[in-house]
Amino acid sequence: MKITFLGLPDAENARVALLPIPYEQTTSWLKGTCFAPIEILKTSPYLEFFDEETGIQPHEELGFFTYPIEEFPQDAEKALLKIRSLVRDAQQRGFLPILLGGEHTITLGAVSALKEIFPELKILHLDAHLDFREEYLGNRFSHATVFRRIHEMGIPFVSLGIRALSKEEYKEAKNRNIPVYFAHEVWNDFGRVLGELEEFLSDGLVYISLDMDVLDPSLAPGVGTPEPGGLSWRELLQILRRCARAKVIGMDIVETKPIPHYPFTEFLVGKIILKFCAYLVDVMKNEFLS
Ligand SMILES: [Mn+2]
Protein backbone atom coordinates (compact mmCIF):
# COMPACT_ATOMS: atom_id res chain seq x y z
CA MET A 1 0.00 0.00 0.00
CA LYS A 2 1.14 3.50 -0.81
CA ILE A 3 2.49 5.44 2.15
CA THR A 4 0.89 8.85 2.40
CA PHE A 5 1.23 11.96 4.53
CA LEU A 6 -0.95 11.65 7.67
CA GLY A 7 -1.89 8.15 6.49
CA LEU A 8 -4.84 9.67 4.61
CA PRO A 9 -5.89 8.78 1.07
CA ASP A 10 -4.78 11.36 -1.50
CA ALA A 11 -7.31 14.19 -1.50
CA GLU A 12 -9.26 14.66 -4.72
CA ASN A 13 -8.63 18.36 -5.06
CA ALA A 14 -5.34 18.42 -3.22
CA ARG A 15 -3.51 21.76 -3.23
CA VAL A 16 -0.34 20.56 -1.53
CA ALA A 17 1.89 17.69 -2.69
CA LEU A 18 4.54 15.88 -0.69
CA LEU A 19 7.46 14.70 -2.83
CA PRO A 20 9.68 12.11 -1.13
CA ILE A 21 13.25 12.61 -2.40
CA PRO A 22 15.46 9.92 -0.80
CA TYR A 23 18.62 11.18 -2.51
CA GLU A 24 21.86 11.03 -0.56
CA GLN A 25 25.30 10.98 -2.10
CA THR A 26 27.49 13.64 -0.59
CA THR A 27 26.62 13.91 3.11
CA SER A 28 29.95 14.40 4.84
CA TRP A 29 29.51 13.13 8.38
CA LEU A 30 26.55 11.12 9.70
CA LYS A 31 24.73 9.25 6.94
CA GLY A 32 21.07 8.35 6.67
CA THR A 33 19.17 11.27 5.15
CA CYS A 34 17.95 8.91 2.40
CA PHE A 35 15.78 7.15 5.00
CA ALA A 36 14.11 10.38 6.12
CA PRO A 37 11.28 10.68 3.55
CA ILE A 38 9.77 7.29 4.37
CA GLU A 39 10.20 7.82 8.12
CA ILE A 40 8.62 11.29 7.94
CA LEU A 41 5.59 9.81 6.19
CA LYS A 42 5.45 6.82 8.56
CA THR A 43 5.36 8.98 11.71
CA SER A 44 2.91 11.51 10.25
CA PRO A 45 -0.36 9.62 11.06
CA TYR A 46 0.45 10.14 14.77
CA LEU A 47 0.35 13.92 14.43
CA GLU A 48 -2.67 15.78 15.74
CA PHE A 49 -4.39 17.00 12.56
CA PHE A 50 -6.03 19.98 14.25
CA ASP A 51 -4.10 23.22 14.68
CA GLU A 52 -5.17 24.90 17.91
CA GLU A 53 -3.59 28.26 17.06
CA THR A 54 -5.69 28.85 13.94
CA GLY A 55 -8.55 26.43 14.57
CA ILE A 56 -7.79 24.86 11.19
CA GLN A 57 -7.45 21.27 9.97
CA PRO A 58 -5.10 21.68 6.99
CA HIS A 59 -5.97 18.32 5.42
CA GLU A 60 -9.61 19.40 5.12
CA GLU A 61 -8.92 22.88 3.80
CA LEU A 62 -6.01 22.25 1.43
CA GLY A 63 -5.83 18.50 0.96
CA PHE A 64 -2.60 16.54 0.53
CA PHE A 65 -1.30 14.40 -2.28
CA THR A 66 1.74 12.19 -1.68
CA TYR A 67 3.96 11.12 -4.55
CA PRO A 68 5.10 7.48 -4.37
CA ILE A 69 8.50 6.74 -2.89
CA GLU A 70 10.87 5.79 -5.69
CA GLU A 71 14.50 4.82 -5.97
CA PHE A 72 16.78 7.70 -6.85
CA PRO A 73 19.75 7.63 -9.23
CA GLN A 74 23.11 7.77 -7.41
CA ASP A 75 24.44 10.17 -9.98
CA ALA A 76 23.87 13.81 -8.94
CA GLU A 77 23.05 15.07 -12.41
CA LYS A 78 20.52 12.31 -13.07
CA ALA A 79 18.98 12.73 -9.63
CA LEU A 80 18.60 16.47 -10.15
CA LEU A 81 16.93 15.91 -13.52
CA LYS A 82 14.49 13.51 -11.92
CA ILE A 83 13.69 16.00 -9.16
CA ARG A 84 13.22 18.67 -11.77
CA SER A 85 10.65 16.65 -13.67
CA LEU A 86 8.82 15.68 -10.46
CA VAL A 87 8.56 19.33 -9.40
CA ARG A 88 7.45 20.36 -12.87
CA ASP A 89 4.76 17.68 -12.74
CA ALA A 90 3.56 18.89 -9.33
CA GLN A 91 3.50 22.46 -10.56
CA GLN A 92 1.53 21.58 -13.70
CA ARG A 93 -1.02 19.71 -11.61
CA GLY A 94 -1.57 22.81 -9.50
CA PHE A 95 0.09 21.54 -6.32
CA LEU A 96 2.25 23.50 -3.96
CA PRO A 97 5.27 21.16 -3.94
CA ILE A 98 6.88 20.28 -0.61
CA LEU A 99 9.98 18.13 -1.06
CA LEU A 100 11.04 15.77 1.70
CA GLY A 101 14.81 15.21 1.61
CA GLY A 102 17.25 13.71 1.37
CA GLU A 103 20.36 15.82 1.36
CA HIS A 104 20.35 19.53 0.67
CA THR A 105 21.55 19.12 -2.94
CA ILE A 106 17.93 18.34 -3.94
CA THR A 107 17.07 22.05 -3.69
CA LEU A 108 18.94 22.59 -6.97
CA GLY A 109 16.59 20.30 -8.87
CA ALA A 110 13.51 21.98 -7.44
CA VAL A 111 14.55 25.58 -8.02
CA SER A 112 15.82 24.90 -11.54
CA ALA A 113 12.34 23.62 -12.44
CA LEU A 114 10.59 26.53 -10.75
CA LYS A 115 12.87 29.22 -12.14
CA GLU A 116 11.85 28.23 -15.67
CA ILE A 117 8.24 28.96 -14.81
CA PHE A 118 8.85 31.84 -12.39
CA PRO A 119 11.98 33.80 -13.37
CA GLU A 120 11.45 36.19 -10.43
CA LEU A 121 11.81 33.36 -7.91
CA LYS A 122 13.76 33.99 -4.70
CA ILE A 123 14.69 31.77 -1.80
CA LEU A 124 14.51 31.89 1.95
CA HIS A 125 17.31 29.59 3.12
CA LEU A 126 17.00 28.38 6.73
CA ASP A 127 20.09 26.48 7.81
CA ALA A 128 22.92 26.22 10.35
CA HIS A 129 25.32 26.12 7.39
CA LEU A 130 25.81 28.61 4.60
CA ASP A 131 26.47 25.85 2.02
CA PHE A 132 28.36 28.43 -0.04
CA ARG A 133 31.54 26.51 -0.87
CA GLU A 134 32.87 26.59 -4.43
CA GLU A 135 33.35 22.83 -4.13
CA TYR A 136 33.43 20.30 -1.34
CA LEU A 137 35.65 17.21 -1.32
CA GLY A 138 36.15 17.70 -5.05
CA ASN A 139 32.42 17.91 -5.71
CA ARG A 140 30.62 20.94 -7.16
CA PHE A 141 27.15 19.44 -6.63
CA SER A 142 27.18 18.72 -2.95
CA HIS A 143 25.09 19.60 0.10
CA ALA A 144 27.89 22.02 1.07
CA THR A 145 27.90 23.92 -2.25
CA VAL A 146 24.16 24.25 -2.98
CA PHE A 147 23.82 27.96 -2.39
CA ARG A 148 26.96 28.78 -4.36
CA ARG A 149 25.33 27.07 -7.36
CA ILE A 150 22.04 28.85 -6.69
CA HIS A 151 23.91 32.16 -6.59
CA GLU A 152 25.45 31.30 -9.97
CA MET A 153 21.95 30.65 -11.32
CA GLY A 154 21.17 34.27 -10.47
CA ILE A 155 18.51 33.43 -7.89
CA PRO A 156 18.48 35.88 -4.97
CA PHE A 157 18.29 34.42 -1.48
CA VAL A 158 18.72 35.22 2.18
CA SER A 159 20.27 32.75 4.59
CA LEU A 160 19.04 32.70 8.18
CA GLY A 161 20.16 30.84 11.30
CA ILE A 162 23.76 30.36 10.08
CA ARG A 163 26.31 29.32 12.71
CA ALA A 164 28.82 27.05 10.94
CA LEU A 165 30.80 28.12 7.89
CA SER A 166 34.36 28.46 6.65
CA LYS A 167 36.27 31.71 6.53
CA GLU A 168 36.20 31.53 2.71
CA GLU A 169 32.44 31.15 2.65
CA TYR A 170 32.14 34.09 5.03
CA LYS A 171 34.34 36.27 2.82
CA GLU A 172 32.76 35.19 -0.47
CA ALA A 173 29.25 35.83 0.82
CA LYS A 174 30.32 39.27 2.06
CA ASN A 175 32.00 40.17 -1.23
CA ARG A 176 28.88 39.18 -3.14
CA ASN A 177 26.50 41.00 -0.77
CA ILE A 178 24.57 37.87 0.17
CA PRO A 179 22.20 38.77 3.03
CA VAL A 180 23.13 36.43 5.88
CA TYR A 181 21.44 36.42 9.29
CA PHE A 182 23.66 34.59 11.72
CA ALA A 183 22.22 32.70 14.68
CA HIS A 184 23.67 35.25 17.09
CA GLU A 185 21.65 37.97 15.35
CA VAL A 186 18.54 35.89 15.91
CA TRP A 187 19.42 35.58 19.62
CA ASN A 188 20.20 39.27 20.07
CA ASP A 189 17.91 41.10 17.70
CA PHE A 190 15.15 38.84 16.45
CA GLY A 191 12.76 41.78 15.99
CA ARG A 192 15.05 43.42 13.43
CA VAL A 193 15.69 40.09 11.67
CA LEU A 194 11.94 39.47 11.36
CA GLY A 195 11.33 43.00 10.10
CA GLU A 196 13.95 42.69 7.38
CA LEU A 197 12.71 39.21 6.50
CA GLU A 198 9.21 40.60 6.07
CA GLU A 199 10.59 43.14 3.65
CA PHE A 200 12.39 40.42 1.67
CA LEU A 201 9.20 38.35 1.52
CA SER A 202 6.93 41.28 0.61
CA ASP A 203 7.43 41.06 -3.16
CA GLY A 204 8.23 38.30 -5.62
CA LEU A 205 7.70 34.57 -5.41
CA VAL A 206 9.36 32.70 -2.60
CA TYR A 207 10.76 29.20 -2.30
CA ILE A 208 11.60 28.05 1.24
CA SER A 209 14.53 25.72 1.77
CA LEU A 210 14.49 24.45 5.33
CA ASP A 211 17.46 22.44 6.54
CA MET A 212 16.35 20.82 9.80
CA ASP A 213 19.68 21.70 11.41
CA VAL A 214 18.58 25.35 11.49
CA LEU A 215 16.67 24.28 14.59
CA ASP A 216 18.49 23.75 17.84
CA PRO A 217 19.63 20.10 18.14
CA SER A 218 17.84 19.88 21.50
CA LEU A 219 14.69 20.19 19.41
CA ALA A 220 15.77 18.38 16.22
CA PRO A 221 18.66 16.03 17.04
CA GLY A 222 18.14 13.78 14.01
CA VAL A 223 20.32 15.65 11.53
CA GLY A 224 23.62 14.86 9.84
CA THR A 225 25.57 17.81 11.21
CA PRO A 226 24.06 19.13 14.45
CA GLU A 227 25.13 22.59 15.63
CA PRO A 228 24.20 24.15 18.97
CA GLY A 229 22.48 27.52 19.19
CA GLY A 230 19.75 26.98 16.60
CA LEU A 231 16.28 28.42 16.26
CA SER A 232 13.65 27.64 18.86
CA TRP A 233 10.25 26.23 17.87
CA ARG A 234 8.69 29.59 18.61
CA GLU A 235 11.16 31.46 16.41
CA LEU A 236 10.62 29.05 13.54
CA LEU A 237 6.85 29.47 13.81
CA GLN A 238 7.17 33.25 13.75
CA ILE A 239 9.20 32.94 10.56
CA LEU A 240 6.73 30.49 8.98
CA ARG A 241 3.85 32.81 9.83
CA ARG A 242 5.52 35.58 7.86
CA CYS A 243 6.25 33.17 5.01
CA ALA A 244 2.56 32.26 4.84
CA ARG A 245 1.79 35.88 3.98
CA ALA A 246 4.23 35.79 1.06
CA LYS A 247 3.66 34.15 -2.33
CA VAL A 248 5.23 30.78 -1.61
CA ILE A 249 5.65 28.57 -4.68
CA GLY A 250 7.49 25.65 -3.15
CA MET A 251 9.37 24.34 -0.18
CA ASP A 252 11.83 21.67 0.80
CA ILE A 253 12.63 20.21 4.20
CA VAL A 254 16.01 18.53 4.05
CA GLU A 255 18.83 16.88 5.97
CA THR A 256 16.72 14.96 8.48
CA LYS A 257 18.68 11.88 9.55
CA PRO A 258 16.54 9.40 11.44
CA ILE A 259 17.89 8.17 14.79
CA PRO A 260 16.80 4.55 15.41
CA HIS A 261 14.02 4.29 18.04
CA TYR A 262 13.86 8.07 18.37
CA PRO A 263 11.70 9.39 15.52
CA PHE A 264 11.19 12.83 17.06
CA THR A 265 12.89 14.81 14.26
CA GLU A 266 10.87 13.05 11.54
CA PHE A 267 7.71 13.70 13.53
CA LEU A 268 8.70 17.35 13.80
CA VAL A 269 8.98 17.65 10.01
CA GLY A 270 5.33 16.60 9.72
CA LYS A 271 4.40 19.11 12.39
CA ILE A 272 6.20 21.89 10.50
CA ILE A 273 4.25 21.03 7.33
CA LEU A 274 0.92 21.08 9.18
CA LYS A 275 1.76 24.34 10.94
CA PHE A 276 2.81 26.04 7.75
CA CYS A 277 -0.31 24.82 5.93
CA ALA A 278 -2.52 25.99 8.80
CA TYR A 279 -0.92 29.44 8.52
CA LEU A 280 -1.47 29.44 4.74
CA VAL A 281 -5.18 28.71 5.20
CA ASP A 282 -5.43 31.28 7.97
CA VAL A 283 -3.95 33.98 5.74
CA MET A 284 -6.21 33.01 2.78
CA LYS A 285 -9.32 33.16 4.95
CA ASN A 286 -8.45 36.42 6.61
CA GLU A 287 -7.52 38.07 3.34
CA PHE A 288 -10.73 36.83 1.79
CA LEU A 289 -12.76 38.28 4.65
CA SER A 290 -11.01 41.63 4.75
MN1 LIG B 1 22.86 22.42 7.27
pLDDT in tens, 39-83: 999 999 999 999 999 999 999 999 999 999 999 998 999 999 999
Which domains does the chain possess? 5-289 (3.40.800.10)
Contact call for residues 22 and 35 (beta carbons, < 8 A):
yes
Quote the crossing angle between the two packed helices 233-244 and 183-201, to the nearest 10°.
10
CB atoms within 10 A of CB 198: 14
Distance separating alpha carbons of residues 5 and 64, to the nearest angstrom? 7
238, 222 contact by CB (below 8 A):
no
Q: What is the pLDDT of residue 84?
A: 98
Question: What are the backbone dihedrals phi and psi of residue 36, each rounded to the nearest 5 degrees, phi first?
Answer: -65, -45
Below-70 pLDDT ranges, the chain = 287-290
pLDDT at position 69 is: 96
Residue 68 CA to ligand 1 center (angstroms) comes to 26
Please, what's the largest Cα pairwise distance for the chain? 54
pTM above 0.75, yes or no: yes
Bridge partners, residue 18, by sequence: 66, 98
Taking the centre of ligand 1 as the mean of its atom positions, its distance from the CA of residue 148, in whole angstroms, is 14
Query: How high is the pLDDT of residue 288?
Result: 59
- Ligand 1 midpoint to CA 102 (Å): 12
Q: What pLDDT does residue 290 have?
A: 54
pLDDT computed for residue 31 by the predictor: 83
Q: From the CA of 264, how far away is ligand 1's center (Å)?
A: 18
